[in-house]
Each structure stands twice: as C-alpha cells, then as structure tokens.
Structure 1
Amino acid sequence: MRILLLILALAGHVVAFELPAPSRQCVVGIADGWNDSHVTLTAYEKRGGQWQKVMGPWPGRLGKNGLVWGAGISPAEGQRTKREGDGRAPAGVFRIGGAWGYDATIQKDPKLFYRRITSRDLWVEDSKSPSYNRHVVLDHEPATAWERKQQMRQNDHAHSLKLFIGHNSPPQVVPGAGSAIFFHIWRGGGSKPTAGCTTMPEEKLRQLIAWIDPDQQPLYVLLPKAEYARLRAEWKLP
C-alpha cells in the first residue's frame, strides 16, 4: 500500500516552471491589467546568479484589447489563450529570436540573425496555410492577392525594424493560436495600440536589438502587474 501511495504521489507531482538557468538576458514587460494596452519595459542581465537592471524602464504599447496567455516556454496559467485576430498580446515567457528590417545593416551582435526584407519576404498569418507563423521567401515577385497580403514589407515605418517574439513558434505551431508577434516601432509616438505585438520608440528598439546576445538565451517576460507579483518567486523572475 505504501508503494502504491508513493507512486500515486509522484505521478501527481508537477515540476514548477522557472526561467531556464542558461538564460542570462531578460526583457520584462509589465501591464497594469489584462485589458491594458500600455506596458513598461525593463531589460535585465544575470550577473553572479542575480538579475540586475541594465536598461529602462521605458514605455511601450500592446494589443488593443490587452493581454491573454500565450504559447511560449511557460505554462498558460488560465483557460483563455491567444487566438488569431483577438487583438491581444500573448502573456508568459518567450524566447527572443532574429531581427528583420528595411536597413541594409543594423547594429547587432554578430550572432543575431538579421535579414533585410525584400518584396519576396512573407510572414504567413493565414492559419490554414502549412507555413502559418513562419518566414517564407518566394522565388518570384508576389503574384497573387494572398502572397501580397503576407508580405513583410508594406512600406510602413512601424514595421521597418522588428525583433521576433517566440509565441506559437516552430516547430510546434498551432493553427489559429496567433502569429507574427514581434517587438517593433510604435505608431503615433505611442498613441496607438497594436494587434498583439509589443511596440516602443525606434531608438529603444535599436538599443534592445544591439544588446541582445543569442548566446545568453534571451527571454521576454510579459505579464500583468498582479500576475508578475504572484509568479515572481516561483518562476524566478527578475
């Protein structure tokens, strides 16, 4: 009987989530609440086992409808999760990926992926496509309405520089769970919310991209203030 009880106890035990130990760069975004489209951003580095602030805080904007739990490396703490077109930014912990932009070159770590966007670069937001939430490069100029709709280059300054946030990212992309989540330049000097991305002043975005070091396994933590306070110790957040 004791052995059976021990097996049942072990089966029911769930290892708590915490930030991966090798991650030594972290951007933290805090919103006042789930329905708030404003965010305060701060960058941290882990030194001697402790998180230390290195940049910020600075303001940013989120989805027009606020936040909802996303598909990153952290568990979703609620039943409601990010869906395509819901106008909400994904909350949780996410890996930070490569950069895309209109400039021929940008200031960045040599190891950070950067691609200069051409008319043939697509980011697929069609949840019915097998390339959903993936970067695709055409071998021809866009010829159909569908191809033109997926183009990354839209002659839009807000999207002239962006840094990928690993929500619902390959290889485990779930159709309809949200796509094309980036850090990018805000609109109207911060007067306008987004469809789900995190935006900020251009100079802050360029500073952030220049700071990111892929070897440090950078992360983005985005949470409402109350959730951050509740999970900070358990998840070992900055």
Structure 2
Amino acid sequence: MKLILSFLTFLFCGLSYAFELPSASSQCIVGIADDWNSTHVTLSYFEKNSAGWQQVGGEWKGRLGKTGLVWGRGIHPSPSGATLKKEGDGKSPAGVFDLGGVWGAAESVKKHPKTFYHQVTSRDLWVEDGGSRYYNQFLTLDHEPAEAWEKKAQMKQNDYPQSLKMFIAHNRPPNAVPHGGSSIFFHIWRNGGEARTAGCTTMVEERLRFLIANVDPSRRPLYVLLPRSEYQKLKPVWKLP
C-alpha cells in the first residue's frame, strides 16, 4: 500500500510540475528568497551557451512584496489547488515569467535595439482596476487625464524609484485574469533597499541598468522567482540555471 501511495504522490507531483524552461530562452534572471514570507531576494543573471547555463557577474540583493511571495500567473504550471496572486495582496508573484518592455523618465536608456522603451509622460497610464477592460495594460491618452479612472491609473512621475522600470509579464494581457494582480515590474528600490514593495522586485539602480542593457528580446529573457526550497526541488525538473 505504501508503494502505491508513493507512486500516486510522485505521479501527481509530476503532472503538476510537468514543465521545462523554453529551449529558445538563453537569458534568465533568477531570484531566490529564503521562504514564502521573505521580503528580501538574492538576484543573479545567467546566459545559456553550448555548455549550459552560465552565471554572468555576481549576486546582488533586492526587495520583494511586503507580505512575501505567492504563486503568480506566468508561463509555469502552478501546483494544483495553490493560492495565486490577487490584486492588492502585497505579494510578489513566484514562478517563471517573460519580460516585457522598459519605461522611464529619461528620453532614452542604454538597451538592446530590440527592447521596447517608452519615456513616461503625464498622459501615460497603467491600469490596475480589475474590473476594467484595460486591466494590467499600458495606455497613452491623446489628452491629459480628466476622468477619475484616468487619474488613478496615471503612471508615476518625479519619483526616483519609479523612474526606470522593466515589465515582469505576470498575468499578462490579453489573457489577464481580472483582479489576478497587475503592474509587476523590476524597478529601483526605495529608501536604499529599506522599503518593501507592493509586489514588484526592486534593486539598486546600477543593477537594473545592467539588466536593461543586456537583455535581448530575441533570446526570450525570463525571470525565475522562487523560495529556496521550491527552487531546489524544481531546478532539475524545470531545467533551471
């Protein structure tokens, strides 16, 4: 009986975690937190060549959501019955995520030619209203924000931590789940790393600029964020760096 139960447990886990990093992906940012309740993360950057994943440079520190981590909606499978991120829960989404474009206060930024970059103005919005048809989408108005929802969604300006940010494709449109969590980015950390976030991953400006300068959309860059125990368990299964 014990052997049967062990086999069923193995089979169940196998089905839940049947996934590998896409073969087309050859750039990966890895974030490892101590546990699900941690608001701190250790980050590292990897590139894949014929010899496999190779770490480029050393590790650096970052900050996570004020209430820790929870499974997010990315390209990975989440465990059956797992709690998933919700809007306003203060948690950083765990899993494997594609990376999107870059937004910033400056007219330009050092980046790969294929990376999308947009200089933020007062007419730029990022919608976090789970009831909106524009949920978790970037919009540019042809007028200054006037309606209440436009003003609420207006992207921050004159705020150093938000002056440079790269989109982490959690709950990505057009398949965004209403109230499933929005506006998740890499951006500059607040108060020199003393502040927790609302769900984003933050870091010192120098490291963020390093990432933005190096990621190449044609190499399908990914962000893997997991608690240490999950990372160790899933590393050989998901073929993680």
Amino acid across the alignment from 1:45: E
Residue 60 of structure 1 corresponds to: 62
> How many positions carry a matched residue from both structures?
228
Residue 238 (structure 2) pairs with residue 215 (structure 1): no
1:202 to 202, 205, 221: 205
Q: 1:13 to 1:195 in 2, by over 3 A?
A: closer
2:112 to 109, 114, 124: 109
Residue 226 of structure 1 corresponds to: 229
**TM-score normalized by the length of structure 1:** 0.93
- RMSD (Å) for aligned C-alpha atoms: 1.6
Residue 160 of structure 1 corresponds to: 163
Please say if residues 121 and 157 of structure 2, whose CA atoms lie closer than 8 Å, have aligned partners that are also in contact.
no
Deviations 1:119-140 (A, max 9, x none): 0000000001000000011110
- Kindly report which structure 2 residues correspond to 1:185-200, keeping only aligned pairs within 5 A, or say none: 185-200=188-203
Amino acid across the alignment from 1:230: K
Residue 50 of structure 2 corresponds to: 48
Q: Distance in 1 between the 2:53 and 2:161 partners?
A: 31
Q: Distance in 1 between the 2:75 and 2:33 partners?
A: 20
- Kindly report which structure 2 residues correspond to 1:135-146, keeping only aligned pairs within 5 A, or say none: 135-146=138-149
Q: Distance in 2 between the 1:95 and 1:103 partners?
A: 24
Q: Distance in 1 between the 2:51 and 2:197 partners?
A: 35
Q: Which runs of 5+ in 2 are unaligned?
A: 1-13
Please say if residues 32 and 43 of structure 2, whose CA atoms lie closer than 8 Å, have aligned partners that are also in contact.
yes
CA displacement at 1:145 relative to structure 2: 2.8
Residue 178 of structure 1 corresponds to: 181
Amino acid across the alignment from 2:59: P
Q: Distance in 1 between the 2:17 and 2:202 partners?
A: 33
Ranges of 4+ aligned residues in structure 1 off by more than 4 Å: 12-15
1:20 to 17, 22, 26: 22
Q: Distance in 1 between the 2:166 and 2:142 partners?
A: 24
CA displacement at 1:54 relative to structure 2: 0.6
- Percent of matched pairs sharing the same residue: 61
Question: Secondary structure of 1:55's match?
Answer: coil
